[in-house]
């Protein structure tokens, strides 16, 4: 199977996007492309690039892309729950654990969240600490803050959970 790739410049730095030709499979920060991946045109990557540009311009609050992340059944369930967090809103790891059906799985959802291969589109940046603080983000806390600030500005909302920042 062919993996298609492109790199997109963004306000949070270069993003590596990959596709299997039918769905988006990765959006990664600061990742090198595998030399065996194809840089040939790919309609899915074109759509993803356009939608990410709209997101960063404040013109898109929801992504409409076919996604095909690779992970365990628990990770896939967690990543689906992340997609259900409304734009410009945040939840904590305990709330995410409840959404996946196991109130005692805060650490497990945190680990799954950290392994999300489709950053931004699957909004793992919307998960914060129980006390409202920014906690772990694979792209770094500065990027997490930038993404949350962008969404709050576009939505015209203040998130009381983030007032501790």
19 strand-pairing partners: 4, 24
Burial of 5 (0-12, 13-18, 19+ CB in 10 A): buried
User: Vertex 108, ends 103 and 110: CA angle to 5°?
Assistant: 100
124 half-sphere exposure, CB direction, 13 A CA radius: 26
Active site residue 124: yes
Tokens 């992504």 sit on residue: 63
Tokens 């959006």 sit on residue: 27
User: Vertex 44, ends 120 and 18: CA angle to 5°?
Assistant: 60
List the catalytic residue out of 48, 121, 124, 148.
124
Q: Which strands make up the sheet holding 24-29, listed edge to edge?
A: 4-8, 15-19, 24-29
Report the catalytic residues.
124
């Amino acid at each position: 199977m062919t993996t298609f790739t492109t790199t997109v410049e963004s306000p949070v730095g270069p993003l590596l996007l990959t596709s299997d030709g039918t769905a988006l499979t990765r959006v990664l920060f600061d990742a090198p492309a595998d030399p065996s991946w194809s840089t040939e045109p790919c309609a899915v990557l074109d759509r993803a690039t356009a939608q990410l540009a709209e997101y960063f311009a404040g013109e898109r609050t929801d992504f409409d892309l076919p996604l095909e992340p690779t992970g365990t059944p628990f990770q896939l369930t967690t990543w689906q729950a992340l997609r259900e967090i409304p734009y410009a809103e945040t939840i904590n790891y305990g709330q995410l654990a409840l959404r996946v059906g196991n109130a005692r799985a805060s650490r497990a959802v945190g680990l799954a969240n950290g392994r999300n291969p489709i950053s931004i589109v699957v909004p793992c940046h919307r998960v914060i600490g129980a006390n409202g603080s920014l906690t772990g983000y694979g792209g770094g806390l500065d990027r997490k803050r930038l993404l949350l600030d962008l969404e709050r500005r576009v939505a015209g909302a203040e998130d009381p959970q983030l007032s501790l920042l």
